[in-house]
Chains A and B, each alone.
Chain A
Amino acid sequence: SQQGEEDPQALSIQEGENATMNCSYKTSINNLQWYRQNSGRGLVHLILIRSNEREKHSGRLRVTLDTSKKSSSLLITASRAADTASYFCATDARNTGNQFYFGTGTSLTVIP
């Protein structure tokens, strides 16, 4: 499977702290994306980083990509209770046509 894996599987932090989650994948990619899923809902796109980029910011989100290690990290700064959700990485792998491959997700709980 070309599916990525997130680490940790679950993370619990206090409001105001930073949350870091990691994603590892197996094959060469065109880009990597992070999605958020609130309980019982569909996934929402957060941020995309291309294979030739190393770091990207969007509001309180910071994403890094290390293609040599086939890994990415998502940092959420100054977390809020509303950030409580599951977070998934998805890779747009090269030579796979139009398919995305999703990781297994990190469940983040932010305690008020």
Chain B
Amino acid sequence: NAGVTQTPKFQVLKTGQSMTLQCAQDMNHEYMSWYRQDPGMGLRLIHYSVGAGITDQGEVPNGYNVSRSTTEDFPLRLLSAAPSQTSVYFCASRSLDTQYFGPGTRLTVL
């Protein structure tokens, strides 16, 4: 099993550009989530999904969109990147009480 995979690992955007961060898991988990990690802030939940076709907002959803068309994939879209979205983004899938994290995407918005 590959577990949770994320692409790309690094990305630099200019303000106003859009992009999609990809996340996939091969553990057949229904629950998936996106977090951002900023220095001194811990992880903050952006969006989550409890199954295909179902998504909901977390603590910091503004500026991000998600969709869940399959159990395996949970992409995160930045509609119009802003410098405040410079961060490390982690995708996770959940089995019962345990979350499994991807390796992260380091995003810089100039």
| Chain B binds chain A | yes
Pick the contact of B99: A40, A100, A104, A105 (CB < 8 A): A100
Partner-binding segment picked from A41-49, A55-63, A73-81? A41-49
B6 to chain A, nearest CB (A): 8
Contact A3 B90 (CB under 8 A): no
Q: Which residues of A contact B103 (CB under 8 A)?
A: 41-42
Complex CA–CA separation, A33 to B96 (angstroms): 12
Known A33-B97, A42-B90, A43-B90; judge A99-B45 contact (CB<8 A). Answer: yes
Contact B45 A48 (CB under 8 A): no
| Binary per-residue interface labels of chain A (12-44) against chain B in the complex, 1 for a CB within 8 Å, 0 otherwise | 000000000000000000010101000011111
| Binary per-residue interface labels of chain B (72-99) against chain A in the complex, 1 for a CB within 8 Å, 0 otherwise | 0000000000000000001010100111
Closest chain B residue to A1, Cβ basis: B59
Complex CA–CA separation, A48 to B99 (angstroms): 11
Closest chain B residue to A48, Cβ basis: B97
Contact A3 B42 (CB under 8 A): yes
Q: Does chain A have a CB within 8 A of B64?
A: no
Known A3-B42, A98-B50; judge A42-B102 contact (CB<8 A). Answer: yes
Taking chain B's interface residues, is the majority helix, strand, or loop, or is none over half, making it mixed?
A: strand
Complex CA–CA separation, A48 to B97 (angstroms): 8
Q: Does chain A have a CB within 8 A of B19?
A: no
B interface bracket (residues with beta carbon within 8 Å of A): 20 to 34
Pick the contact of A43: B40, B43, B48, B50 (CB < 8 A): B43
Contact B42 A88 (CB under 8 A): yes
Complex CA–CA separation, A48 to B50 (angstroms): 21
Contact A45 B98 (CB under 8 A): yes
Q: Which residues of A contact B92 (CB under 8 A)?
A: 42-43
Q: Which residues of A contact B90 (CB under 8 A)?
A: 42-43
| Residues of A that sit less than 8 Å from B by CB | 1, 3-4, 9, 31, 33, 35, 40-45, 48, 88, 90, 92, 97-105
Known: A43-B43, A98-B31, A100-B45. 13 other contacts (CB 8 A): A3-B44, A33-B97, A41-B104, A42-B92, A42-B101, A42-B103, A42-B104, A92-B97, A98-B48, A98-B94, A100-B33, A102-B35, A104-B41
